[in-house]
Chains A and B, each alone.
Chain A
Amino acid sequence: MPSLGADMEAGTFIEWNIAPGQAVKRGDVVCVVETEKGAVDVEIWSTGTVARLVAEPGQRIPVGGILALLAVEGETWQAVAAMPAAPAVPTAPTAPAAPAEALHPSPAPALVRSSPAARKRAEELGVDVAALAAKKGGAPITLADVEAAAKTAPRASAPAVAGEGAARTGMRQAIAAAMARSKREIPHYYLGCEVDVERAATWLEQFNAGRPIGERVLFAALAFKAIALALRDVPDLNGVFVDGAFRPSAAIHLGVVTSLREGGVINPALHDADKLGVPALMAALRDLLMRVRAGQLRSSDLADATTTVTNLGDLGVETVYGVIYPPQVALIGLGRVVARPIVREQQIVASRMLTVTLSADHRVTDGMTGARFLSKVREHLAQPEAL
């Protein structure tokens, strides 16, 4: 069971996409797991042949628990399948908890793949998502499916309000655990600076003017690229703090804080953000956010952010004072781009400004490092054509 974010302790196994004897390679989607944050396609991290499927649908498995046995090169899958999995399965200590789990039946919607939006709508309309999923042969349930079903089917007498409520409470608890751990363990320091983004905003307007709407770039994408490049300049803010030591990451995967419409947040990773050109970064960001809305995230989206960015500018916020997601060591906040009178070359002129903030882990860096990072963000945003 992979860890799909620092706030995950266990996941509910939903279904297999593979069978014993099947060859798989790293990155293949092999199964679906339900977390507090919705259903996630789990990608396998090794190449080999499936030997034995251990996890069963509906089973709750802690992070690190065994889902399946895999035969790697040089092994025959039949031999591996015959091996006892028991010693390696860390589910044993939690076994006594199983009856309690059984007494608390998981809500039917948790066992099918559906977008969070579709699930919420189904709850409102009293549509049985499980029945719908059976009809669709396991394909993900979309909002349109739910709406269509609501029109044709009589309203179910008891909508699964308790189930949905439980899922929401689960997410709240997961966020609470991660944030409480952050505030308990991480000595935060906070820095902020106002960045003149007039040049970047003007450059972007010209860039977008000649492009069809589907290829337009939002300012956030430009800011993300500047942040990724600044993290390359100041690598001490990019990585994780584990077992009392900072482990920097060579790759820059930006966690993107995304609020879910039904409540709560999720932080999928924008991989290798420093290596993507601005149009490619925008496309990747759009793809990621659309998959969040559609409930189609993959395990790699959730596993490995190295720093997180939260953009609250759309909501009118000017300054973000963020809480770091453990085990990461920094969180960058973006406020609203707002026109202000500023002094440039002894003249008062109107200019668009953006407040960028940094929350960082004082165990790993000091204010000097943070200041250098913010100054690099400013430098990169001053040269938008180079992003």
Chain B
Amino acid sequence: MNAPDRAAIRQAVIDAVLTIAPEADFETVVPTKSLREQLDLDSFDYLNVLIALAKRLQVEVPEADYGKVDTLDGLIGYLAERVART
């Protein structure tokens, strides 16, 4: 199976967030600002997003890297890099 590209990873992120925050509008999300703050995701919501992404992309974000995945750009970039490495 080919590694998913950036667009596929972006879609995976959007799908994961929409299951928890169905009203989220990614047209208006600022990709360089905190995703959690913009979409009112609490720590349980965000953990569930990361768990859904781990299932779909086989990439687990270690707790120590949470600071790198706070924004939409950060999360997609982080996942893309990790997916490419595996």
Chain B neighbourhood of A262, CB < 8 A: 23
Q: Is B63 positioned at the interface, with any CB of A under 8 Å from its CB? A: yes
Q: How many B residues touch A, CB cutoff 8 Å?
A: 22
The residue from A143, A214, A314 contacting B22, defined by CB atoms under 8 A apart: A143
Contact with A along B25-68 (1 / 0, CB 8 A): 00000000000100010111101101100100000111110000
B22/A261 in contact, CB under 8 A: yes
Rounded to whole Å, the gap between the CB of A333 and the closest CB of chain B is: 15
Are A293 and B20 in contact, with the CB atoms below 8 A? yes
A-B contact count (CB 8 A): 55
Binds B, one of A78-86, A169-177, A204-212: A204-212
Q: Is B3 an interface residue (CB 8 A)?
A: no
Interface contact B47-A209, CB-CB below 8 Å? no
Main secondary structure of the interface of B (DSSP, over half): helix
In the complex, the answer to whether A118 meets B60 with C-beta atoms within 8 Å is no
Check A120 against B50 for contact (C-beta < 8 Å).
Answer: no
The verdict on A289 contacting chain B, using a C-beta distance below 8 Å, is yes
Is the pair A218, B47 in contact by a Cβ cutoff of 8 Å?
A: yes
Output the least CB separation between A168 and chain B (Å).
Answer: 14
**Residue B11 at the chain A interface, CB threshold 8 Å:** no
Instruction: Report the interface size class on chain A.
Output: 20 to 34
Residue among A120, A214, A315 with most chain B CB within 10 A: A214
Whose C-beta in chain A lies nearest to the C-beta of B24?
Answer: A261
Q: A23: shortest Cβ distance to chain B, in Å?
A: 38
* Chain B residues numbered 7-27 whose CB sits less than 8 Å from any CB in chain A: 18-23
Set of chain A residues within 8 Å of B60, measured between Cβ atoms: 212-213
CB<8 Å pairs between A and B, sample of 17: A117-B21, A117-B23, A205-B63, A208-B63, A209-B64, A212-B54, A213-B54, A218-B47, A219-B43, A220-B43, A220-B44, A261-B40, A285-B44, A286-B48, A289-B44, A290-B48, A315-B40
Q: A143-B22, A286-B44 are in contact. List 15 more A-B contacts (CB 8 A).
A: A117-B21, A143-B18, A205-B64, A208-B63, A209-B62, A209-B64, A214-B51, A216-B47, A220-B44, A261-B21, A261-B40, A286-B47, A289-B44, A314-B36, A315-B42
